[in-house]
Amino acid sequence: MYFYERFCVWLGHLKLSRVILLVSVILFVVPLFTHYYLSKYESTLGSLSNNHMRHTLEALGDLSTMNVVDLKVRIEEMLRIKASVSTELRELEARRARLQREAVAASAKADSAKAEHARAAAELQRLRVSADQARLAQLEAIRRDSPELAPPLQILSVRPPPILPPIESTSEPHCRMFSCFDHSRCSLTSGFPVYLYDPDIYAPFASSEVDGFLKTTLRQTLGYNTHLTRDPNKACVYMVLVGEAFPFEKTSSTTESYKLLLNETALKGLPFWGGDGRNHVLMNLARRELSVGSGDAFRGVSTGRAIIAQSTFTHNQFRPGFDIITPPALGPPGGDVWLDCAPIAPARRKYLISFQGSQPPAKGLDKDQDQKLVESLQKTSPSPDTFFLQFECDPPVEKRSLLPIGDWALCGTDRSRRAVLRDSTFVLILAPADRTYTTTALLQARLYEALRSGAIPIILGGDRIRLPYDEVLDWKRAVIALPKARVTELHFLLRAMSDADLLMFRRQGRVLWERYLSSVQTSIDSLLATIRSRLNIPAPPASPTVGAPGFNESYYPLKIDPPAVDTEPEETLGPLEAPYASPAYRRNYSIGLLHGYELWNDWGEPFVLYPQLPWDPMVTSEARFIGSAAGFRPIGAGVGGSGKEFSEALGGDRPREQFTIVILTYEREAVLAAALTRLRGLPYLNKVIVVWNGPSPPSSASSWPESGAPVAVVRATRNSLNNRFLPYHLIDTEAVLCVDDDAHLRHDEIVFAFRVWREHRDRIVGFPGRYHAWDINFNNGFLYNSNYSCELSMVLTGAAFVHRYYLWAYWRALPAAVRDYVDEYMNCEDIAMNFLVAHITRKPPVKVTSRWTFRCPGCPVTLSADETHFHERHKCIQFFSQVMGYTPLLSTQYRADSVLFKTRIPHDKQKCFKFI
């Protein structure tokens, strides 16, 4: 411490000059030392370089003194060393490459193990969910305490009807189904077998033969009917063709005595008559001489307990609920009948009302009644409305003794009458003045012609007239029946109807005519369906299409793991469950009780039974929690919720279900493989059905990606776009998603559309929206338009949900001319399906989300890329409208989007669909 203090004092006494001198000395000495040592280092390096050069020259000197032999030996030794080194290098390189391949293989094996682990984990999760659902279904079955019953076996009779004593003639007018029909031969599970007596062998006539056309037609039409049986011992009903001509021949011009043409002995001698004729149906089909009428074939004849089916009945003879009024056999045997129909629009035509007919004089007729009616009609015709009334035929109709008293004969030819009817808004039909008749063949012939031409029938005297199959058909929606006393109010009533009402009357009339009256086949089918409906026997099931498998039984295409698909881990769309089918044929008996009216008059048909219908009823809201919870998976156990709770269950008013995807493809395996890849991990997917439309089978060498659900390949018999809508037997669900092989859809879009479809099961629900626009330049009808619009009328089936029922309806309810047009132009099958659904439901489709178009980069050229494709779709709409009589498409401005999309919700909640 002392020395430090002294040093500080000394430093304080130093002068500034001494400091400067010291610094200068230091700056001079340091460079001198540095230069000295650097020079010494360079001399050292020089000496080393000289030594190296000297040794090199010595070596060269040694080489120069070596002889040639030694030099050659040295070179060979060096070459051997080089070859050895090269070999070692190659071995090292090979070893490196081998190790590298082993590393790649190990990496691939690790990736495969990871993928297998992920697949096993997903499958385990699927099995867990399925096990949970199975346990829940078991608990539901135990609580319900009612086992799942399979359809019972068919119960048929094994012997012919036993012979019983004939029924007394006084009891015949009182026959009803409960008293004169043997229900023991027609069990509910019998299938309603029908036996036809051969008309060539069993003809109960004395002096007349059945028309050959009618016999041939009846054989053909019943041959197409699934109820026909060749074994009379098993039959429920026996059909007898009695005839179709006049049943009586008048023997005197002064008295009312008739010669019987029907051979009663031959009738009761039929092999299975059984003494009283029970379960026999006697058919008298009026066809010939309708210009003069067709009478009652069974007047004065004892028919026992047999059911009579004909077009002419008196009030005393007709037995309600037992006998059946059938239309005349005026149409073709079968097939398309749209060419005979007039268009539905416009609502109002040239004539407000028309009538063509002549009433021949008849003895005993109330002469004043119809004469006053005619005079009142002639005075009613105002201006500017036009009445076309023709009460006398030109040439005049001769007197006919066989015409029902007071019945109005037809005037002119079929072509001339049709021309007038096509120009008539309404057509007048006058009931016979003879009040003993409840219906006649001539009256029904007028009804037939009116409905075919789109003229709305007005039946004066309709309060005492019965129409064909009126116990099941609602004629009030197609025909206006008025008492003759209302003739003075007729004009006011007709003028008071709106255009919408007129079009609805005309449309319903056409529906009834096409289904039940238009051909002999539809008439016979309707006759049998009426009897079967009385017995409440279920119709035969609709036959699905059994498609030929794309691969033989011994070959299955290889499955490969698809590449990774970008998914949104934050959005859960639903559980991955094992496939399960929708319940089928649960309403075989009850559908006729609850929906019998709709089956005959609205959206259904009574001829076949479908496994499900879009209109099957649902339970009430509380029933899902009290007593009827089987199959339901409510959101949040009934509390509801969003996000996770929403994705765990389908919820809604229907039990849980899945959907089937149908992909139509034409020899585009790469595109198809990409489509199957995009389906992996899709919730609620039951099965994928690939309809292979190409002429050659799928390639067995190609590898098919794993889609996560069963994949069935069906090879079509021919290349047709209609194959998209075949009701394949492989479809086990009500919901069917029709998808083009090049359509790109996200999983959330598909699941959302599926949920929307569950609430609109009777409509088409999908993505690409289109609309029909009126041709303002030429007024030629509607045109096809695919521009962006605020309304739409079609959803294309290249990406849309439809109900399985519409696949059958496409082949049964849609006219064959529409499908033929699709095959001819290879276009417009999607428009045809939209026409069909709109025609049946009278509702527009439902578009979901904002997606408009589908692009497939790298796909081959499609049909829609052709320039003529768009113009052909114009023609499709116009042709389909012509076939159906009107354009059934309806426009809508409605679109379905997720409820909570773009909605501000609490941070601890999750939206139902994050990106929709």
**Catalytic residue list:** 830
DSSP reduced 3-state for 711 = strand
At 111, list the tokens: 């990736």
DSSP conformational letter for 515: I
Residues in the chain: 916
User: What pairs with residue 740 in β-bridges?
Assistant: 664
Among residues 655, 586, 666, 646, which one has the least CA distance to residue 909? 646
DSSP string, 271-318: TT-TTT-TTEEEEE---S-TTT----TTTT---TTPEEEES-EETTT-
Is the bond preceding 395 in cis, omega lying within 30 degrees of 0?
A: yes
Give the helix/strand (H/E) hosting 325: strand 324-325
Tell me whether residue 389 is exposed, middle or buried, using C-beta atoms within 10 angstroms of its C-beta: 0 to 12, 13 to 18, 19 or more.
Answer: middle
At 720, list the tokens: 């047709």
At 665, list the tokens: 């493809």
DSSP conformational letter for 162: P
Name residue 414's amino acid: D
Distance CA 51, CA 539 (A): 118
Interstrand relation of 307-310 and 280-284 (parallel, antiparallel or unpaired): parallel
At 640, list the tokens: 């509801």
Distance CA 811, CA 725 (A): 8
Give the helix/strand (H/E) hosting 739: strand 735-740
Contact 863, 814 (CB under 8 A): no
Residues 6+ apart with CB under 8 A from 642: 900, 905, 909, 910, 911, 912
DSSP reduced 3-state for 248 = strand
Among residues 181, 184, 182, which one has the least CA distance to residue 157? 184
Sign of CA dihedral 87, 88, 92, 98: positive
Question: CB 724: neighbour CB atoms within 10 A?
Answer: 23
φ, ψ (nearest 5 deg) of residue 822: -60, -40
Among residues 317, 314, 324, 301, which one has the least CA distance to residue 173? 317
Question: CB 93: neighbour CB atoms within 10 A?
Answer: 10
Distance CA 673, CA 695 (A): 19
Among residues 496, 327, 348, which one has the least CA distance to residue 424? 348
Distance CA 441, CA 329 (A): 10
CA atoms within 13 A on the CB side of 600: 23
CA atoms within 13 A on the CB side of 142: 6
